[in-house]
Amino acid sequence: MSMDFTGRVAIVTGAGGGLGKQHALALAARGAKVVVNDLGSASDGSGGSASAAEAVVAEIRAAGGEAIANGASVTDAAAVEAMVKQAMDAWGRVDILVNNAGILRDKSFAKMDLADFALVMNVHLMGAVHCCKAVWPIMAAQKYGRIVMTTSSSGLYGNFGQANYGAAKMALVGLMQTLSIEGAKNDIRVNCLAPTAATRMTEGLMPEEVLRALRPEAVVPAMLVLAAQDAPTRAILCAGAGSFEAANITLTRGVWLGSGEQVPEALAARLDEVRERSGEMVPQSGAAQGSHEVGQAMAHAAKTSASA
């Protein structure tokens, strides 16, 4: 697998610090020209300054790389379009998009203000949508694109106090699943990265020795693999502290119960069998679930007919 990004142009959002900064530095070190996007806000989304993005650009240039700073908010579709135009004006193409920008507004669901729920969804989900929408026609025209969504274990598996964040992060998985199908004909590969990393968003949440193990640099290899020319598509890679795993949305083999008044009771009685994971599959599209279910019904009908 080629880890050389020479000639490629990458946009990394939320790249003024933490994980996004390490993504930008790594791509630039391997030859990519990088748009370093960062609103420069606090971890809760308040405030804003271009200085963080400019500092990363200066670091890349000092190391001999090429980069430009951009301070657009990913929630502003017009500003995102302008950011992509900035990349096109400078370098004539966009090959890689790393959707990394995000904020936290943590609280238990009972105490969470709906405005904080909506804001987190807007930044994480609609921010990624705006960026994908802006680069999509470019990637389609050049018949090449690599998009990395930043999901989270909070979305995949849940986390107390993060209903808004978790909902947004799981939504990105759904976005990835469909975009990877739609982008296949133009070699646009779309994947998700679920990082465990110590950044300013995790300060004070973990012991110091754990934070040291979870340095953002340890996640970067997974991003590089997902952004590379030989990247997979529709993968969910998890990474943290030097460990790498894959997550999948699976479908069990299930049980055919037919229809009728007693099916609810029958389903309740056999729920453990329905949830049994041996032989589970990873469907290649949403239609696969329906195909499997119809297949189960047809198999039952054939068996009934044969025994009649």
Q: Where exactly are the structural domains of the chain?
A: 9-247, 263-307
Q: Indicate which residue of 5, 91, 144, 165 is catalytic.
A: 165
Quick one: pLDDT at residue 200?
Answer: 62
pTM of the model as a whole: 0.93
Record the tokens describing residue 170, joined without a space.
């799981």
User: What is the CATH code of the structural domain delimited by 9-247?
Assistant: 3.40.50.720
User: Which runs of consecutive H residues, i.e. helices, occur in 30-161?
Assistant: 51-62, 77-91, 114-121, 127-142, 153-157
- Determine the number of helices (DSSP H) and then strands (DSSP E) in the chain: 12, 8
Report yes or no: 232 and 221 within 8 Å, Cβ to Cβ: no
- Rounded to 5 degrees, φ, ψ at 83 are -65, -45
- Rounded to 5 degrees, φ, ψ at 96 are -135, 135
> SS3 for 287?
helix
Q: Residue 66: is it exposed, middle or buried by C-beta count within 10 angstroms (0-12/13-18/19+)?
A: middle
DSSP state for residue 126 in the 8-state scheme: I
CA–CA separation, 138 and 97 (whole Å): 12
Looking up tokens 């200066």 gives 58
As beta bridge partners, residue 195 has 239
Report yes or no: 6 and 66 within 8 Å, Cβ to Cβ: no
Outline where DSSP puts E strands in the chain.
Answer: 9-12, 33-37, 67-70, 96-99, 145-150, 188-195, 236-240, 243-247
DSSP state for residue 107 in the 8-state scheme: B
CA–CA separation, 247 and 257 (whole Å): 29
Q: How many other CB atoms are found less than 10 A from the CB of residue 251?
A: 14
> SS3 for 281?
strand
How remote is the C-alpha of 289 from its chain's centroid?
A: 23
Whether 144 is catalytic is no
Quick one: pLDDT at residue 45?
Answer: 61
How remote is the C-alpha of 244 from its chain's centroid?
A: 15
Which residues, in sequence order, are CB contacts of 304 under 8 Å at separation 6+?
none
**Per-residue pLDDT tens digits of the chain, which is 308 residues long:** 569 999 999 999 999 999 999 999 999 999 999 999 999 866 766 666 678 999 999 999 999 999 999 999 999 999 999 999 999 999 999 999 999 999 999 999 999 999 999 999 999 999 999 999 999 999 999 999 999 999 999 999 999 999 999 999 999 999 999 999 999 999 999 999 999 987 665 666 677 888 888 899 999 999 999 999 999 999 999 999 999 999 999 999 999 999 999 999 999 999 999 999 999 999 999 999 999 999 999 999 998 888 76
